[in-house]
C-alpha cells in the first residue's frame, strides 16, 4: 500500500472546514495513484450558542485488504459568536487494526493558550501519553477556519491573509490563505466561473518537500464542487467529491 495513506488523514481534516456551508454531507476521497480509498461523513450542529462539527472517515477497497479498516474521527466543539465559530476543543481519534490514539487540543481563551494532550494504546495497554502547551494561540482550528472566513464576509477577505490555527505545530500555528473569484482561474481549476476558490498552504510531511496546498472550490451558492490536495508523496493529487443524492 502506498505510504501516503498511512499519514494522509491528518491533513484531510482541512477538507471539512467547509462544513459550515456544506453541513451534513457524505464524501469520497480519491488518489490519482490508487483510486478511491475512503469515504467520509460530515455533520454540523448549532444549539444554545454552541456548535459541533463532527467528521468520520473510513477506509475502503484495497487499503482495507492490505492494512485493515482504518477509522478516523474529528470533532470540533465551541461557542458561536456573531455567526462565527470559536473553537474550544479539537479531538482527533484514530483506530487501526492494532492502534488506538486520541489527540486533543484544548483552547483556553481566558489565558490565551492551547494545550495538546496525546494518548496512544496498543490493544488495551496505554503506551504513550504526553501534555504540551503550544507556542501559539488562536481561536480557530482546521475545522472552523473556512467557515469563519466566509461568515466574516468573504468579499472583504484579503488574499494572502495569515491565520493562527490550533494543531498546526510545524508553522507555529500560522496558516496562509489565498482567495479568488477570477472566472479564468476558476475554470482552470475546474470550478464554477461565478463561484469561489479558497486555498490554504500546508506544511506536513506527507507532501513532497514537506509543503503543499489544499484548494477548495465552491459554486455560486457556496456549495462545494470539490477539494484538491497536492503534491502528496506517492499519492499525487488527492481529490474529495461530495456524494450527492
Residues 152-209: tens digit of each pLDDT: 755 555 556 777 787 777 788 888 888 888 999 999 999 999 998 888 887 777 788 8
* Contact status, residue 105 vs residue 115, Cβ threshold 8 Å: yes
pLDDT for the residue numbered 15: 52
Q: Report the C-alpha gap between 54 and 46 in whole angstroms.
A: 12
Which of 226, 225, 223, 205 lies closest to 214 in space, CA to CA? 226
Instruction: Give rounded-to-5 percent helix, strand, coil for the chain.
Output: 20, 50, 30
Distance between terminal CA atoms of the chain? 31
The domains of the chain are located at: 4-242
Averaged pLDDT, groups of 10, the chain, 245 residues long:
49 51 71 81 90 88 73 92 93 90 95 96 95 93 82 59 76 83 91 89 78 86 84 79 74
pLDDT for the residue numbered 20: 46
Amino acid at each position: 500500500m502506498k505510504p501516503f495513506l498511512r499519514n494522509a488523514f491528518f491533513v484531510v481534516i482541512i477538507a471539512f472546514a467547509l462544513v459550515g456551508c456544506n453541513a451534513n454531507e457524505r464524501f469520497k476521497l480519491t488518489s490519482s495513484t490508487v483510486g478511491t480509498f475512503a469515504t467520509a461523513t460530515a455533520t454540523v450542529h448549532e444549539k444554545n450558542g454552541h456548535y459541533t462539527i463532527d467528521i468520520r472517515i473510513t477506509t475502503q477497497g484495497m487499503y482495507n485488504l492490505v492494512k485493515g479498516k482504518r477509522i478516523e474521527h474529528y470533532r470540533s466543539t465551541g461557542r458561536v459568536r456573531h455567526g462565527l465559530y470559536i473553537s474550544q476543543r479539537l479531538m482527533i481519534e484514530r483506530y487501526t487494526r492494532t492502534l488506538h490514539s486520541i489527540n486533543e487540543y484544548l483552547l483556553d481563551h481566558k489565558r490565551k493558550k492551547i494545550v495538546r494532550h496525546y494518548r496512544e494504546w496498543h490493544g488495551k495497554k496505554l503506551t504513550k501519553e504526553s501534555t504540551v502547551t503550544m507556542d501559539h494561540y488562536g481561536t480557530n482550528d482546521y475545522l472552523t477556519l473556512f467557515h469563519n472566513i466566509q461568515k466574516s464576509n468573504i468579499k472583504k477577505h484579503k488574499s494572502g491573509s495569515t491565520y493562527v490555527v490550533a494543531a498546526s505545530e510545524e508553522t507555529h500555528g500560522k496558516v496562509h490563505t489565498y482567495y479568488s473569484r477570477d472566472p479564468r482561474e476558476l475554470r482552470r481549476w475546474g470550478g464554477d466561473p461565478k463561484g469561489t476558490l479558497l486555498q490554504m498552504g500546508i506544511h506536513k510531511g506527507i507532501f513532497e518537500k514537506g509543503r503543499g496546498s489544499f484548494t477548495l472550490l465552491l459554486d455560486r451558492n457556496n456549495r462545494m464542487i470539490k477539494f484538491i490536495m497536492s503534491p502528496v508523496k506517492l499519492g499525487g493529487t488527492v481529490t474529495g467529491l461530495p456524494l450527492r443524492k
